[in-house]
Amino acid sequence: MIFDAHLDLALNAIEWNRDLTQPMDELRRREERLTDKPDRGRGTVSLPEMRRGGIGLCVATQLARVEHNAYSPVFGWRSPAQAWAMTQAQLAWYRAMEEAGEMVQIRDRAGLERHLALWSKEDLEPRSEKLPIGYILSLEGADSLVTLRHLERSVAEGLRAIGPAHYGPGIYANGTDATGGFNARGHELLGEIERLGLILDVTHLCDHCFWEALDLFGGTLWASHHNCRAIVPHNRQLSDEMIRALIERDAVIGATLDAWMLMPNWVRGKTTPEETGVALSHLVDHIDHVCQIAGNALHSGIGSDLDGAFGREQTARDLETIADVARVADVLRQRGYSGADVENIMHGNFIRCLREAWR
């Protein structure tokens, strides 16, 4: 089984209007003539494809940022109330998937162990059986939290992880391409995240907020979808110093498949996978970099971010759908990683992190 630590499933279902219960060919066919999004007709994620690839467990997001700069290329809502309403629409989609038997929400360690047992039964073949896909609910960016009481409400609905920022300046923290630390409300937020026992996702935090979070937050943390700055220089990536700090906290770092984060000099909207040759092996370069710093394979995982506002036009050329994430295991074995190491990277490390957080 594969654990994917970052998928924007509800965003695709609600804002991209994709019926993720359908086969991939059907999803692409329905978008053949659409041009409102750059990835129309090029999506890679559906629930059937996740099952085919053995991706039985994932961290699935709610995502609705507030726009702080009218000229930002990243879409955002005009108010926290609007953003909150969108996250609730996304939550309603997850609930609908649960009612249909497509997905199951994992809220605690007992639920986690039940789901792992279901997907590991020897008499079942996950790639053909319609097993429910387990998901841990995460909030990507905290702008939608109108008040901290809204965080408590979200926890009651099963929220188990949160990243305080997304792109640019945020209501609580600063994210990718922004600078500066947490504001006063952000400090309160960190305290509530720890009090409520949530996992802190450091993904998208700007450098100032990253280091401040590690100083102020004493609970479990991870980087759900991050690659390495030493390979692709950009503030969205983790520096070696950051990687070492996360390893010291026993965190896990999920490698992501967005092509501009896989190899340097990628120009979004212009560069193509075919002209660069970007492949799953480039993802393994980032995984291997983390493992070399750690001296083991206990802190790397997969956080694909597939269809996170991009599709086949901006990911590995040897990836047709999310099912091909399973081929990462083959590349790891070719690099000399042992069977135990491969299992840890493909699912074991993030599962260990959850077990510790929910102990």
Picking from 240-249, 251-260, 261-270, which range would have the lowest pLDDT averaged per residue?
A: 261-270
8 A C-beta contact, residue 200 and residue 160: no
Express as a percent the part of the chain with pLDDT over 90: 93
Q: pLDDT digit string (tens) for 308-328?
A: 999 999 999 999 999 999 999
Condensed to tens digits (0 to 9), the pLDDT of residues 134-166 reads 999 999 999 999 999 999 999 999 999 999 999
Mean of the per-residue pLDDT values of the chain: 95
Whole-structure pTM value: 0.96
pLDDT digits (tens, 9 = 90+) for 11-35: 999 999 999 999 999 999 999 999 9
Q: Are 10 and 87 in contact (CB under 8 A)?
A: no
pLDDT of residue 124: 55
How far is it, in rounded angstroms, from Cα 89 to Cα 62?
Answer: 9
What pLDDT score does 75 carry? 82
**Tens digits of per-residue pLDDT, 165-196?**
999 999 999 999 999 999 999 999 999 999 99
Question: Domains of the chain (ranges plus CATH)?
Answer: 2-357 (3.20.20.140)
Q: Is the pLDDT of residue 128 over 60?
A: no
Mean pLDDT, range 255-273, rounded to an integer:
95
The predicted pLDDT at position 69 comes to: 72
Q: How confident is the model at residue 130 (pLDDT cuts 50, 70, 90)?
A: confident
**pLDDT score at 68:** 78
Confidence check: pLDDT of 338 > 60: yes
Dist. CA 169–CA 285, nearest whole Å: 30
The string of pLDDT tens digits covering residues 82-99 is 999 999 999 999 999 999
CA-wise closest residue to 58 among 129, 105, 10, 6? 6
**pLDDT-derived band at 238, boundaries 50, 70, 90:** very high
Burial 329-348 (b: 16+ CB within 10 A, else e): bebbeeeebeeebbbbbbbb
Query: CB atoms < 10 A from the CB of 34, how many?
Result: 11
Q: What is the pLDDT of residues 50-78, one digit of tens each?
A: 999 999 999 999 999 998 776 566 788 99
**How high is the pLDDT of residue 121?**
78
Six-digit token string for 227: 């690659």
